[in-house]
Amino acid sequence: MIQPGLERVGQLLKNVQFPWKAIHVAGTNGKGSICHYASSLLTRRLVKCGKFTSPHLVDRWDCISINEKPVNETLFRQIESHYMQLSQSEGINASPFEILTATAFHIFNEEKVQVGVVEVGMGGKLDATNILNNQAVSVISKIARDHQSFLGDTLEQIAQHKAGILRPNVPYVVNPVNEWNVNNVIEQYAKDIGAGPRLTGDTVELIETLYASPDWRRFSESLRPFQRDNVVLAIVAVKEIVASLGITLDNLEIGEMLVQLRKNVNPGRLQHLKVPPVFGKLDESEREIMVDGAHNPDAAIALNDFVLKNERQRTILGESPPKDGWPITWVLAMTEGKDAHQYLKLLLRPGDNVVTTSFGPVDGMPWVKSMDPKQLFAIAESVQPKITGLHMPTTGALRALCAARYVAGKTPPIVLTGSLYLVGDFHRELRSRSDHTWWTNPEQDEDRAMFEAIHEEERNRVDVALISQDL
């Protein structure tokens, strides 16, 4: 259950101090990427850095990391248990996210981090993370409509919640592509409370050094505009916080770090990877899928921009794309209550294929439910009648990908998206099946046999579905 408000988390943390400095990140889209880049840059500058993002991707504790490594499970469970018991014994009735927030901040203290990069869970003003009193810089990413039942239906109402993370005399930076009305709300709130100064990524210093450097060009040449925006917000925040720590960070040094970061994968964000149980052994199959956690219409705009320029135009297995680009086979699951119609309207094209599925229960968030795959497929057909595909009768990301393989055929790209919870299911299912030992380990014989049966079932299911659609 979602319970906005600071009273309960304040009771949990009433005797806890925050000796570290925080980069606090709010917004609708791009928060996770900003946190990823900020934490990575700080870690490379040898600043001990904690990061707290939500939701978790694979395991509940992977939302908390120290120097880009997930915290130890034993430590996580020990501290989480402390706050669960405290909530019960003191009658606090804290929500799971409030307990998770307290756990993250306590772990930052235990690990003696210098900086904590903290992503807002939902909104800002009444979010549990806003209990922080140690912000060195606040960041507001792109704002769009999401969680309207809690934040309001208009962008102005949503922006008011996001602006709630600002603090008097604390510098802040805002994504410049936000609409003028959003920007006005944030600026007025900042003025009312005395927040600032407002920082920018368009300084002469950055333009003449970092942005003019060969390293920046190498790093940014393949990025879409929204990705560059997120990187710049992270850079501005990092420069501000290292300065507050008395640490030097040269702009050209940032460029060198970013080039190194190109090799880093931000799981669930425009991620390409092989799926051996679906397409064959790692050394025998070149087939990759793309995985992205875009889950609202604004994120779909960014995803579609990337897919149009990349996935639809890729050379795949030596074969060039058709004149109008490859049709995409979409593997989709969405959370109940999301605007699936507008989301799919932004992604689907005539000739695309769709396989709708559902994600399983979300650890620590029992209120989160997956949309019925049959309902989601019906919405897809209403948006784009000229699609083919099917809805899955059972959960399972890899099973849905098996179906997608037979729907797509040999070449066209497959994109799994719609929900970070689906992405999490995918990574959990793939984790024990992604290396060479899965194919030869006798202990995996039963699992391999299960996948052989799944392939047969999904091949037959797809054949029946496509024949019925042809009729």
Please say if the pLDDT value at position 148 is more than 70. Answer: no
Q: Which of 264, 273, 263, 266 is closest to 397 using CA atoms?
A: 273
* Sign of the dihedral through C-alpha 188, 299, 332, 154: positive
DSSP string, 225-270: HHHHHHHHHHHHHHHHHHHHTT----HHHHHHHHHHHTT---TTSS
Last residue within a domain, chosen from 234, 261, 288: 261
- What's residue 436's pLDDT? 78
Name the range with the highest mean pLDDT among 205-209, 295-299, 376-380. Answer: 376-380
The verdict on 229 and 279 lying in the same domain is no
Last residue within a domain, chosen from 240, 261, 282: 261
458: in domain: yes
- Per residue in 44-103, pLDDT (tens digit) is 999 999 999 988 889 999 999 999 999 999 999 999 999 999 999 999 999 999 999 999
- Per residue in 1-16, pLDDT (tens digit) is 567 789 999 999 998 9
1: in domain: no
- What's residue 426's pLDDT? 96
The verdict on 144 and 167 lying in the same domain is yes
The verdict on 302 and 178 lying in the same domain is no
Q: Which of 404, 389, 460, 436 is closest to 287 using CA atoms?
A: 404
- Which CATH number covers residue 368? 3.90.190.20
Token digits for 56? 């978790």
The verdict on 346 and 237 lying in the same domain is no
Spatial distance between the Cα atoms of 440 and 169, rounded to a whole number of angstroms: 60
The verdict on 235 and 348 lying in the same domain is no
Question: Which residue reads 């034993």 in tokens?
Answer: 74
Spatial distance between the Cα atoms of 321 and 312, rounded to a whole number of angstroms: 7
145: in domain: yes
Q: Which of 126, 125, 181 is closest to 156 using CA atoms?
A: 181
The verdict on 257 and 293 lying in the same domain is no
- What's residue 109's pLDDT? 97
Buried-state track 459-468, b at ≥16 Cβ within 10 A, e below 16: eebbeebbee
The verdict on 319 and 291 lying in the same domain is yes
Q: What is the pTM of this model?
A: 0.87
Last residue within a domain, chosen from 203, 237, 261: 261
266: in domain: no
The verdict on 33 and 171 lying in the same domain is yes
Question: Which residue reads 């925050």 in tokens?
Answer: 18
Range of the domain at 225: 7-261
Buried-state track 268-304, b at ≥16 Cβ within 10 A, e below 16: bbbbeebbbbbbeeeeeeebbbbbbbbbbbbbbbbbb
Return the higher-pLDDT residue of 85 and 316.
Answer: 85
Spatial distance between the Cα atoms of 399 and 278, rounded to a whole number of angstroms: 8
Spatial distance between the Cα atoms of 318 and 428, rounded to a whole number of angstroms: 31
The verdict on 289 and 422 lying in the same domain is yes
3-state helix, strand, coil in the chain (%, to 5): 50, 15, 40
The verdict on 235 and 298 lying in the same domain is no
143: in domain: yes
453: in domain: yes
DSSP string, 119-158: E-SSSSTTSGGGG---EEEEEE-B-----HHHH-SSHHHH
